[in-house]
Amino acid sequence: MGPKQTTFENPDLTGKTVIITGATTGVGKSLSAYIASYNPKRLILAVRNRAKGEATLEFIESRNGHSNNVEIWEMDLADLTSVKSFAEKFIKEVGELHLLFNNAGAAPMELMKIKNTKNNFEVTFQVNYLSQFLLTNLLLDTLKKSASPEFPCKIINTNSKEHRLGTIDFDNFSGQKSACHIYVNSKLMGLIFSNELNRKLKGTNISSLAVHPGLIKSKVSHLYNKNRTFKKRVFHNFCMLFAKSPDYGALQILVPTFSKRTQNLGYNYYENCKEVKPSDKALNEALAKKLWDYSDKLLKSKISYCSSYSSFSSSFRSLRSLRK
């Protein structure tokens, strides 16, 4: 990272509770090791595969010798019921949350058959967006109760600069052209959601930010080459020459999360540790409201679900009316 990006002091998370999704590989694995070293009260890794979660625990132990504050909880973002069960268990057994890292994501594999989840949604769309929309909404009240001026709570969403290629067509929502097209659309939706959260949570001690961690070397990279043409394999391998380490990607997330900013542009989207303007579509308030309502409708068609923001919004309005 450049000189301005290295002015980062490790935060003290004593007494704080943190959730990280997608912690078993790549950026998420490195992110978990960094966060564990900041001494949180509880660091909960939400993982689909418990064996891989245990491997992450061993990795954390080897990195900083301390994993007593780390817990492995199972959650499958490809199953809305699993997400809801995780949130309900967390609210009942923990009841406080200061940092939510929505880091998990599914990457498009060219020539992979586009498949659906058990909820009958395309898997990349559900894992990268809809389930994270659900998880965040279910935990909003807990974040609200945990937030304070001394330690504002944050929702950190791992995103991609490729969101600029995304589109949203509500008349043909599932009629995507390719797995790659679905991926960039899901990232656009995630960024729109992050921005809409900030509008809805204005005046509270909770904020949402989205971060592009960069092109990262990952153990799943070889999957991109499976069954590819020779030219495409060469192109992919060439791109990987410029890819950064998972530790680099984790720091790209940590710096904007914990650094004190002297300038706030109001975008809450970061590339290369700098706040930058995302695509105009990501900033479109009318589109954001429509996507939020549409997402609510999709969830309610599959599970018993009530948006936490709805209850938060009504209670906030009631509180304001009492003050008048």
* pLDDT tens profile 113-164: 556 788 988 888 999 999 999 999 999 999 999 999 999 999 999 999 999 9
Q: What is the pTM of this model?
A: 0.87
Question: CA neighbours within 13 Å on the CB side: how many for 19?
Answer: 30
pLDDT digits (tens, 9 = 90+) for 196-208: 999 999 989 999 9
Please choose, from the candidates 269, 115, 118, 245, the residue with its C-alpha nearest in 3D space to the C-alpha of residue 182.
115
Q: Is 248 among the catalytic positions?
A: no
Distance CA 138, CA 142 (A): 8
User: Does 68 score more than 50 pLDDT?
Assistant: yes
CB 111 within 8 Å of CB 228 = yes
The per-residue pLDDT of the chain, averaged, comes to: 84
More confident residue, 50 or 261: 50
How many H helices and E strands in the chain?
A: 10, 8
Tell the residue number behind the tokens 């992050």, with chain if given: 194
pLDDT at 5: 44
Beta bridge partners of 53: none
**Among 4-18, 201-215, 268-282, 306-320, which is the least confidently predicted range?**
306-320
Question: Which 8-state DSSP code applies to residue 128?
Answer: I
pLDDT at 174: 63
Please choose, from the candidates 48, 49, 41, 51, the residue with its C-alpha nearest in 3D space to the C-alpha of residue 18.
41
Amino acid at 94: V
What is the pLDDT confidence band of residue 229, given thresholds at 50, 70 and 90?
low
> How far does CA 185 lie from the centroid of its chain?
15
Query: Domains in the chain, please, with CATH?
Result: 12-217+245-323 (3.40.50.720)
Q: What is the largest distance, in Å, between two alpha-carbon atoms of the chain?
A: 69
Distance CA 270, CA 225 (A): 29
Tokens of 76: 């499958």
More confident residue, 219 or 172: 172
Q: How many angstroms separate the first and last alpha carbons of the chain?
A: 50
Q: Which of 129, 183, 224, 269 is flagged as catalytic?
A: 183
User: Does 2 score more than 70 pLDDT?
Assistant: no
The predicted model gives 80-96 an average pLDDT of 97
CB 23 within 8 Å of CB 43 = no
Phi, psi of 132 (to 5 degrees): -75, -35
**Among 178-187, 223-232, 245-254, 284-293, which is the least confidently predicted range?**
223-232
Beta bridge partners of 21: 46
Contacts of 234 (CB under 8 A, 6+ apart): none
Amino acid at 264: N
What is the pLDDT confidence band of residue 181, given thresholds at 50, 70 and 90?
confident
- CA dihedral (200, 201, 202, 207) in degrees, to 10, reads -130
Phi, psi of 274 (to 5 degrees): -120, 140
Question: Which 8-state DSSP code applies to residue 280?
Answer: G
pLDDT at 217: 67
User: Does 298 score more than 70 pLDDT?
Assistant: yes
Burial of residue 268 (number of CB atoms within 10 Å: 0-12, 13-18, 19+):
buried
More confident residue, 271 or 1: 271
CB 104 within 8 Å of CB 82 = no
The predicted model gives 92-116 an average pLDDT of 80
